[in-house]
A and B are shown apart, each in its own frame.
Chain A
């Protein structure tokens, strides 16, 4: 079982809805990430929270907004999404020491925008 927990596993929403994806890790990691993955594509980095500092992929539209209530929680707020935003959203965490590139992923939240 993964130590990064994502909820919900599945989400269907309309283009006018507001919803949130949640992610929690209990490994004491200091960095957390949101990735978007479309079918047969690699994960695309959206946001990184590291030592309470947010880094943004500038290509991510403002209808996605991250929130980090504390070092073990990372939320992704969704508003006015488009059908092309339908994808698997992956949360990951990592230590910021030791093995660069070693990420621990959750099982993902599969989002469908109607």
Chain B
């Protein structure tokens, strides 16, 4: 079993839809949870950063962490074509500054 599992997609949705992206993990030492967004042929950029279980909201984006289930989610409300990108979850333990990445989910928002 991989440390971090993430469905590669692609996930195709119409503009305005609510998008749910997910990762599961096996290592209970992970304490910090991130979502990176990567546009085609660009480097990843940090989108959301959370610590511990619960929700964190930033505009149209909500990151959710359930440590008991080892499950993290990213919700995108009112999705836009400009949200079309690959979304990588990334996790790290408290003892490391180097994240473990999921393989990324490709999201396509069509007008």
Give A96 to B94 CA distance when docked, in angstroms. Answer: 12
Decide: A110 and B41 in contact? CB cutoff 8 A.
Answer: yes
- Contact for B96 among A33, A88, A90, A100, CB less than 8 A: A100
Decide: B98 and A101 in contact? CB cutoff 8 A.
Answer: yes
Closest A-B pairs by Cβ, 10 of them: A105-B43, A101-B92, A42-B101, A101-B99, A100-B92, A100-B97, A42-B103, A108-B43, A100-B32, A101-B32
- Is A40 part of the contact surface with B, judged by Cβ < 8 Å? yes
Q: Which of A44-102 contact B (CB under 8 A)?
A: 45, 48, 50, 88, 90, 92, 94, 96, 99-102
Also in contact, A43 and B44, with CB within 8 A (given A100-B94, A102-B49) = yes
| Most chain A beta-carbon neighbours within 10 Å: one of B34, B44, B46, B97 | B97
Chain B 11-24 against A: per-residue CB contact (8 Å), 1 yes, 0 no? 00000000000000
Contacts of A101 in B (CB 8 A): 32, 34, 49, 90-92, 96-99
Q: Interface residues, chain A, CB within 8 Å of chain B?
A: 2, 4, 31, 33, 40-43, 45, 48, 50, 88, 90, 92, 94, 96, 99-108, 110
Also in contact, A96 and B43, with CB within 8 A (given A42-B88, A42-B102, A102-B49) = no
Contacts of A102 in B (CB 8 A): 34, 46, 49
Give A17 to B99 CA distance when docked, in angstroms. Answer: 33
Known: A42-B88, A43-B101, A90-B43. 19 other contacts (CB 8 A): A33-B98, A40-B103, A40-B104, A42-B102, A42-B104, A96-B97, A100-B32, A100-B92, A100-B93, A100-B99, A101-B34, A101-B90, A101-B91, A101-B97, A102-B34, A104-B46, A107-B43, A108-B41, A110-B41
